[in-house]
Amino acid sequence: MLSSALITTSALATSAYTTIGEAEVSLAAMLCLIVLLSASEILSASKVWNKNLSHSLNFAIFPLVVTFIAIVLFKLKGFQ
């Protein structure tokens, strides 16, 4: 019972990824990165900027930067 539920969930997740496509996921990641970097710059000049906010934004930005680098490398290498 558990294994069939796991297989079904795995198939749905794979199906959702292939339905959305690599280009859309890449675009969404880059847009999120741009928005978070912009928010970081804008908020750093405001009164609400503090150490906790900085760490929170960096916690979200760092994986997106790594993802952006991976996207660029895959595009340069021609993996499609």
Q: Check: pTM over 0.75? Answer yes or no.
A: no
Residue 71: is its pLDDT beyond 90?
A: no
Residue 62: is its pLDDT beyond 90?
A: yes
Work out the average pLDDT over 19-26: 73
Confidence at 14, pLDDT banded by 50, 70, 90 = low
**Tokens 């970081």 — which residue?**
40
Q: Map out the domains of the chain as residue ranges.
A: 22-77
Q: Which of 12, 29, 13, 11 is nearest to 72 (CA)?
A: 29
Give me the sign of the Cα torsion angle 37, 40, 42, 44: negative
